[in-house]
Amino acid sequence: MRIDVVTLFPEFVAQCAAFGVVGRAVERGLLAVHGWNPRDYAEGNYRRVDDRPFGGGPGMVMMIEPLRAALRAARAADPAPARAIYLSPQGAPLTQARVRELAGRERLILLCGRYEGIDERLIAAEVDEEISIGDYVLSGGELPAAVLIDAVARLQEGALNDAESASQDSFEDGLLDCPHYTRPVVHELGRVPEVLLSGNHAAIARWRRAQALRRTWQRRPDLLAKAALTPADRALLDAWREEDGPADGGGPDRPA
Ligand code: SAM
């Protein structure tokens, strides 16, 4: 997979792609990340990339031409068609399902805004999709781009070692992940649940499923509506609801 990032801070994105699973995916040739700086395509001594907003108001707006030239150079760098994504707080919220779909593509171009954002005409003409990483505002699209790159990198085949398998992570089957424990078995903070030491794989799988279900019910009941639940899952949920009353967006054991 190839990801081109149009950003005023290509070194920042390159650094984010140099560590951990993403760095390993790059080393293994599963992913290539390239930065394109609109300033390199700006004219004049000051290589200006922003200007005042028409209509007045605070802040600056990224100008069309330097961004368009950088985008075009990025597109032309490889013959494979690329989906252009503008990281924006106004985009569709990023979900694991969206990550999985994007991870299967050959090429992405990520467009990072700064200041008040980007001239709307460029977005209308060049952007295929807008993605947000959450309902809050950051000062630039570089962290959101790094988030998206990390999420798609770990889904590239061969990026994760077995021990890091993504298949049981939160959201993969519509539920949150179960809790995890490692050595020591006994610690002043508590004991590892007995079932995990039993060697009974079926019982462990049942326990994990029940834990994942209970966490999801307590912390993110909204996910349950879309999750594929078995009759056994439904029976557990019914029993918990009877015990504790309906989850109210928090549930009885939700941490503060
Ligand atoms: N004026 C814009 C608005 O209110 O929609 C916010 C601009 S923000 C200060 C500058 C840039 O940061 C945006 O162009 C976008 O690329 C990026 N950004 C900020 N928050 C983001 C988020 N939650 N998700 C994705 N990108 C974000």
Inside any domain, residue 162: no
Q: Is 30 strand, coil or helix? A: coil
Question: Is 162 labeled as catalytic in the residue annotation?
Answer: no
CB of residue 38 inside a 6 A radius of ligand 1? no
Assigned domain for 45 exists: yes
- Same domain for 149 and 34, yes or no, is yes
**pLDDT tens readout for residues 154-183:** 999 999 987 677 888 999 999 999 999 999
Do 9 and 110 share a domain, yes or no? Answer: yes
Residue listed under structure tokens 């004991």: 191
pLDDT in tens, 190-239: 999 999 999 999 999 999 999 999 999 999 999 999 999 999 999 999 99
Q: Same domain for 23 and 84?
A: yes
- Do 60 and 138 lie in one domain? The reply is yes
Q: Residue 40 catalytic?
A: no
Query: Do residues 41 and 19 both lie within one domain?
Result: yes
Structural domain span for residue 136: 2-153
With a 6 Å cutoff on the Cβ, whether 116 touches ligand 1 is yes
Q: Are strands 32-36 and 190-191 parallel, antiparallel or unpaired?
A: unpaired
Domain assignment of residue 161, yes or no? no
The pTM for the full model equals 0.94
Cα separation, 89 vs 136, in Å, equals 7
